[in-house]
Amino acid sequence: MKHNILKLLKDDFGEFVSGQKISEELGVSRAAIWKHMNSLKEDGYEIESISRKGYRIVSSPDLLNYDEIASLLNTELLGREIQYYKTIDSTNNFAKTNANFLKDGAVIISEEQTAGRGRLGRNWVSPLYKGVWMSIILKPDINPIYVSKITQVVAAAVNRAFFKLGIENKIKWPNDIIVNSKKVCGILTEMNAEINHVNYVVVGIGINVNLDNEDIPEDLKSKASSLRIESGKELKRKEVVAEILNNLEPLYKQFVESNDLEKSIDICRENSILIGREVKIIDRNQEYLAYACGLSDEGYLIIKDKDGNTKELISGEISVRDKNGYV
Ligand code: ADP
């Protein structure tokens, strides 16, 4: 009921909606409306009430629930179902546990993660109300060997979304987004598949949106930052989520429906922070220097090693660093 009341108020954003109208349209008592309004205020909505005129929304909180995000989406597939939590261990864990019951395109969002994860079992710092910690469930009808390419599609979409929000950024192959040489976003793609059938893919996207300096642990400060720290702007997190989903949908559909990665790869190439530089490749226990020449049409990083041999790296277990530091 609270959601329906909120929707009525939002449909007439800024205008007064009378208690009588709410009561008639939704079949609730005046007393119940009053209770729901108080509960909405507790959630952070600013609601003005004037006797005889009714209720009016003055401002909405920057929460990442369906009520706040849905009106910003122009997607058909992504984010049509949003599972929202205040706290969760890891949105990717939750998504994997529940993927069979959730629709293609469903999104899990939490205001904080207590055990956020990066690749290779690393941790991901995810403080309350400061970032976007979300996972998208995808059920593409593609061969499992192509699933890692989805990371490139998502990186391209995040890059576009940040530009739309006025933030210059680069992509660090395969899965990080960089602003001013620091990591502000990581992408973690996991899947569950049979030999030639994908059951589901979970794409985790962690974005440091409004983290302050003190939210970033000392040992990460040299390589991690937030959009707020780097741009000096406080962004609305719900707009960040919506931009990403809106930009991702067409690129993702091109890939799964037409097997066409061209646009995504073009974006990843044009915005790559690695191409044209000497980099350090960390491949399990082995480390070596190489020159990053380009990105193949398949989304693999093309490198030339010190003996002049060219090879293509598939993202899997590889990390790439600048030869002198992070990037
Ligand atoms: P990479 O791709 O750089 O090898 P991952 O994608 O596996 O790294 O991300 C995990 C690593 O990111 C962690 O080990 C940690 O160093 C760093 N990290 C953890 N939390 C954050 C965060 N909120 N923002 C940026 N970097 C983070």
| Distance set, CA 153 to CA 35, 252, 271, 293, 302 (Å) | 45, 6, 13, 20, 18
Final residue in a domain of this structure, among 27, 59, 91 = 59
By alpha-carbon position, which residue is closest to atom 19 of ligand 1? 124
Residue 126, pLDDT above cutoff 90: yes
Do the domain assignments include residue 27? yes
Instruction: Provide the pLDDT for residue 323.
Output: 80
Q: For residue 4, how far is its CA from the centre of ligand 1 (angstroms)?
A: 39
Q: Is 284 annotated as ligand-binding?
A: no
Task: Identify the band that residue 313 occupies on the pLDDT scale cut at 50, 70 and 90.
Answer: very high
Q: Indicate if ligand 1 lies below 6 Å from the C-beta of 92.
A: no
Angle at 321 between CA 89 and CA 138, to 5 degrees: 40
Q: Is 306 annotated as ligand-binding?
A: no
The mean pLDDT of 284-293, rounded to a whole number, is 90
Task: Identify the band that residue 316 occupies on the pLDDT scale cut at 50, 70 and 90.
Answer: low
Overall number of domains in the chain? 3
Do the domain assignments include residue 327? no
Do the domain assignments include residue 49? yes
Give yes or no: residues 43 and 74 share one domain.
no
Give yes or no: residues 106 and 28 share one domain.
no
Q: For residue 90, how far is its CA from the centre of ligand 1 (angstroms)?
A: 14
* DSSP conformation class of 95: H
Percent over 90 (pLDDT), the chain: 92
The torsion angle over the Cα atoms of residues 288, 289, 292 and 296, rounded to 10 degrees, is: -20
The mean pLDDT of 62-81, rounded to a whole number, is 96
Q: For residue 119, how far is its CA from the centre of ligand 1 (angstroms)?
A: 8
Instruction: Provide the pLDDT for residue 82.
Output: 97
The answer for residues whose C-beta is within 8 angstroms of residue 211's C-beta and 6 or more apart is 127, 130, 131, 225, 226, 228, 229
Domain containing residue 4: CATH number: 1.10.10.10
* DSSP conformation class of 300: P
Instruction: Provide the pLDDT for residue 327.
Output: 82
Say what angle helices 30-42 and 19-26 make with each other, to 10 degrees.
100
Domain containing residue 77: CATH number: 3.30.930.10
Which among 113, 124, 301, 321 is the best mutation to test ligand 1's pocket, defined by most ligand atoms within 8 Å of the CB?
A: 124
Residue 324, pLDDT above cutoff 90: no
Do the domain assignments include residue 137? yes
| Distance set, CA 287 to CA 267, 273, 295 (Å) | 28, 20, 20
Can you tell me which atom of ligand 1 is nearest the CA of 187? Answer: 6
Instruction: Provide the pLDDT for residue 254.
Output: 98
Residue 57, pLDDT above cutoff 80: yes
For residue 250, whether the previous peptide bond is cis, meaning omega lies within 30 degrees of 0, is no
CB 279 within 8 A of CB 157: no
Token look-up 């941790």 returns 123
Domain coverage including residue 31: 1-59
Residue 315, pLDDT above cutoff 90: no
